[in-house]
């Protein structure tokens, strides 16, 4: 192959990357559910416990993300102040995941998830997921209406309201909820 010829990727390469990505998310979900299994009753919803303040504003956790024994990226979880809702303070849980430059050359990842929670109950009020993976760009917004037992989802310009169980967590707040147990 000469330098002027483009590198040919195996046609199954994209499918393999997607399968590995889904496998990693499945493993993470199983770990989270396994952690929560003793804390959450799936048969009947329970009121969430009062927060033991398992996190503090200003906290930052940084993780290396590896793929096939290669450091593929970095994930950062930050807790910041989200202001007040009336007389209630709110916290913003921000999680970002970015691929390293060598990985970004063939599959860039730049995801950001922001979850607004009530620190007293650890219940989410709003979640914004800005997904940037490869050529895929997607924003999904969730508004949790805990008292009404519904969540409003805005995805691709379409809005849908769904029923949810009392005490429902989002993908980020559940990690902090698990820490409080």
Lowest-pLDDT choice from 44-58, 60-74, 159-173: 44-58
pLDDT of residue 55: 82
pLDDT of 5 higher than 90: no
Lowest-pLDDT choice from 12-21, 51-60, 89-98: 12-21
pLDDT of residue 32: 47
pLDDT of residue 37: 40
DSSP H or E run through 143: strand 136-145
Picking from 87, 63, 82, 83, the residue whose alpha carbon sits closest to that of residue 73 is 63
pLDDT of 25 higher than 70: no
Find the helix packing angle between 173-180 and 13-36, rounded to 10°: 30
The pTM of the full predicted model, rounded to 2 decimals, is: 0.69
d(CA 73, CA 66): 7
């Amino acid at each position: 192959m000469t330098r002027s010829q483009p590198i040919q990727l195996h046609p199954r390469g994209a499918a393999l990357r997607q399968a590995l990505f889904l496998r990693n998310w499945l493993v993470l979900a199983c770990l989270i559910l396994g952690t929560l299994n003793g804390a959450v009753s799936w048969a009947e919803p329970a009121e969430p416990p009062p927060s033991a303040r398992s996190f503090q504003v200003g906290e930052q956790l940084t993780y290396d993300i590896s793929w096939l024994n290669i450091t593929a990226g970095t994930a950062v979880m930050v807790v910041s102040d989200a202001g007040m809702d009336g007389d209630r303070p709110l916290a913003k849980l921000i999680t970002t995941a970015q691929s390293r430059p060598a990985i970004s050359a063939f599959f860039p990842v730049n995801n950001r998830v922001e979850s607004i929670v009530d620190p007293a109950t650890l219940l989410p009020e709003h979640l914004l997921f800005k997904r940037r993976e490869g050529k895929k760009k997607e924003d999904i917004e969730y508004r949790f209406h805990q008292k009404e037992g519904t969540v409003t989802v805005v995805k691709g310009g379409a809005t849908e309201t769904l029923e949810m169980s009392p005490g429902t967590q989002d993908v980020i707040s559940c990690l902090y909820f698990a820490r409080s147990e």
